[in-house]
Amino acid sequence: MSTNRKEEIILATLELAAEKGLAGVSMSMIADKIGIKKPSLYKHFSSKKEIVETMYQFLREQSKKNANIKPVNFSQLFQGKTAYEVLQGVVKGYANMNHQEKMLMFYKVIYSERSIQPMAARIVAEETERMIIATKQLFYAMEVHKLLHFENADMSALSFAMTIHGLMDYELDQKYGYGKEEHTENNLISDYLSWFCKENSVGDGD
């Protein structure tokens, strides 16, 4: 029962934040929305900050589950695939996870407030750090399996992660700013992946 109530609180807070912004949401509003007294809310969460931080972890896990993202076995991931196909699959999986409806709603709130809310900025930074670390692990494995070669795998991972991150943000800006579909952005990502694989192909000369 407690877990269900916590989930109810998280989703109610997300809906309120999407409507009013994080700063416009109070603990009283959250309690009212789910029909409980404010002291009862504090039995589950000590502050709005705790709710939002828990929301990030909860929505991320739910999105991973919905997008069918599991712990990576690199040997299986690479089997019978080109470097381009591996990167395309990884990027698609990450995009699917982050474009789940509630995750997307959460990011729209967080991204819009990261310049004025330190908590929002921390969450964006944490997600970016996760992406960079995962990309480093992927590139180390691709080097070992001779799918790609890097002069500096760490810097290549940083550059790759930030470029993909930026292109995905650009996609959302195109979609919400101009009502454009994702085809343009998908072509940009595809072109970038092709270029990246060519630049880091195994056996390339200087």
CB 62 within 8 A of CB 104: no
Average pLDDT, the chain: 87
pLDDT in tens, 142-188: 999 999 999 999 999 999 999 999 998 887 777 777 765 554 556 88
Look at the domain 53-200 and name its fold. Answer: Tetracycline Repressor; domain 2 (1.10.357)
- Parse the chain into domains and list their residue ranges: 53-200
Report whether pLDDT(204) > 90.
no
174 CB-near residues (< 8 Å, 6+ apart): 180, 182, 184, 185
Please report the pLDDT score of residue 205 as a whole number: 45
Where does the pLDDT of residue 104 fall: very low under 50, low under 70, confident under 90, or very high at 90 and above? confident
Please report the pLDDT score of residue 139 as a whole number: 97
Where does the pLDDT of residue 195 fall: very low under 50, low under 70, confident under 90, or very high at 90 and above? very high
Please report the pLDDT score of residue 41 as a whole number: 92
Q: Is 137 exposed, middle or buried (0-12, 13-18, 19+ CB in 10 A)?
A: middle
Please report the pLDDT score of residue 173 as a whole number: 78
pLDDT in tens, 65-96: 877 777 889 989 999 999 999 999 999 988 88
pLDDT in tens, 114-144: 888 888 899 889 989 999 999 999 999 999 9
